[in-house]
Structure 1
Amino acid sequence: MIAERYRARAEAFEAKVANVRSDQWGNPSPCAQWTALEVVDHVIDMHGVMLGHPIERTEDPLTDFREARRQVQAALESDRATTEVSTPAGPMTLEDHVDQVVSDDLVLHGWDLARATGQDETIPATDVERLWATATAVPADLMERFRTPGAFGPGIEVYGAEIAVPPDAPLQDRLLGYVGRDPMSKNP
C-alpha cells in the first residue's frame, strides 16, 4: 500500500516537473522565498534524507527527480522498507517515514509547483482527505513546532502559518490554508 501510494504520488509529481517550461524555473512558489526550481530541489533533498544520503545532481531537475524517485521506490520494494530508522518524530520504519514525509510532500509540493507554473492544481480527493485527517490530528503543541521555521533543522519548515479560508470552501482549499498555503492567491 505505501509503495503504491508513493508510486502514484511520485508519478504525478514527475509529470508536473516534466511540464515546467525552461522559463518557469525561476517563478515564485507558494512556499515563501522558494522558486519552482527550489521546490523541486527540496523534494529531491528530502528523498535523500529518507535514504540517508544525498541524491547526486545533474543540471536537469527532471533527471534528478527521476533518480531520487527510483532510489526511494527501490528501497520501498526491498527488505529495507521495514528497517527501523531514527526520525524527528521518533523511530519508525523507513516505509512509514517515506509515507509520512516525502510522499505527503509530493502532494503538497506538487500543488506548489503547479501553482508556480500554471498547471492543473487539483489534488486527488483521496489525498486531500488523507492529508486533512493527518494534519488536523496533530496536537496543538506539535503543530506549533511544525509551523516554527528551523524547528526540525536549518531551513526546514513543515507547515507555514495558517491562512484563513472560508469554512464552506472546498476541502482542498481548507487543507491548503491549514498548512500555510493561500489557495485564493493568483498564479505568479
Structure 2
Amino acid sequence: MTSISARYRVRADAFEAKVAQVKSDAWTNPSPCAQWTALEVVDHVIDMHGVMLGQPIPRTEDPLTDFRETRRQVQEALDSDRARSEVSTPAGPMTLEEHVDQVVSDDLVLHGWDLARATGQDETIPAADVERLWATATSVPADLMERFRTPGAFGPGIEVYGAEIPVPDDASLQDRLLGYVGRDPMSKSP
C-alpha cells in the first residue's frame, strides 16, 4: 500500500463515518456548497469517484451503500497496478493514484466538512489534512486559481473552489482554509 492509498483509506473511513451518522431527516438539509443538500454532497463525491475510475457508479436508494461500493472500487484500483497507469486530467497527464490523491481524496476532507456542517456533526478536520490542503490550495498560481473559482471551467456543474470568503485575522488555519476555498466557517449549522 502506497502513502496515497493509505491516505485515501483514512479519509474514506472518516467520510463514510459521517455518511453513516446522517439522520434520515437530515439528507435534505442545505450544505455549505451553494444549491446542494447533504445528499447532493454525497452524490457529488460518488460521482467524482466514478470520474476517477472512468465509469459511472451504479446507485441504490442508500447513500451509505453507494459510498461503500465506490470507495471499494477506488481502493481496489489504488492497491493494484492500475494506480500507476497514466490518465488524462484537466491539469495534464498524471498517474491514476496522483489524480485520486489530488481530487477525490482531498474532496473527502472538504466535502466531509460540508456534510458535517449540513448535518450537525463534528466539523473538525485533522490538523495534518488542514496543513496539507492549505499548502496545496495556496500554491495554486493565480491564473489557475481563477479557473478553479469559475463555475463550469472544468465541465458543466463543476466548480473546484468558490469565491474566497474573508475570515477574521486570528481565525484558525482550518477556518482560513475553508474561507480560502469558498466556505463560510463562521456561518451557523442548520
State the TM-score, normalizing by the size of structure 2: 0.99
Which amino acid counterpart does residue 4 of structure 2 have in structure 1? I
1:57 is matched with 59
Of 157, 169, 172, which aligns to 1:170?
Answer: 172
2 CA distance for matches of 1:37 and 1:131? 24
Aligned residues between the structures: 188
The one-letter amino acid paired with 1:71 is Q
Give the letter for the 2:130 counterpart: V
Amino acid in structure 1 at the alignment position of 2:67: F
Distance in 2 (alpha carbons) for counterparts of 1:8 and 1:127: 11
Q: 1:185 — aligned with what?
A: 187
Counterpart of 2:127? 125
Q: RMSD over aligned Cα, in angstroms?
A: 0.3
Identify the residue that residue 150 of structure 2 maps to in structure 1.
Answer: 148
Q: How does 1:4-83 map to 2 (within 5 A)?
A: 4-83=6-85
Q: Distance in 1 between matches of 2:84 and 2:128?
A: 25
Post-superposition, which runs of at least 4 consecutive aligned residues in structure 1 deviate over 2 A? none
Q: Displacement, 1:85?
A: 0.1
Structure 2, unpaired ranges of 5+: none
Q: How far apart, in 2, do the equivalents of 1:2 and 1:118 lie? A: 29
1:167 is displaced (CA, Å) by: 2.2
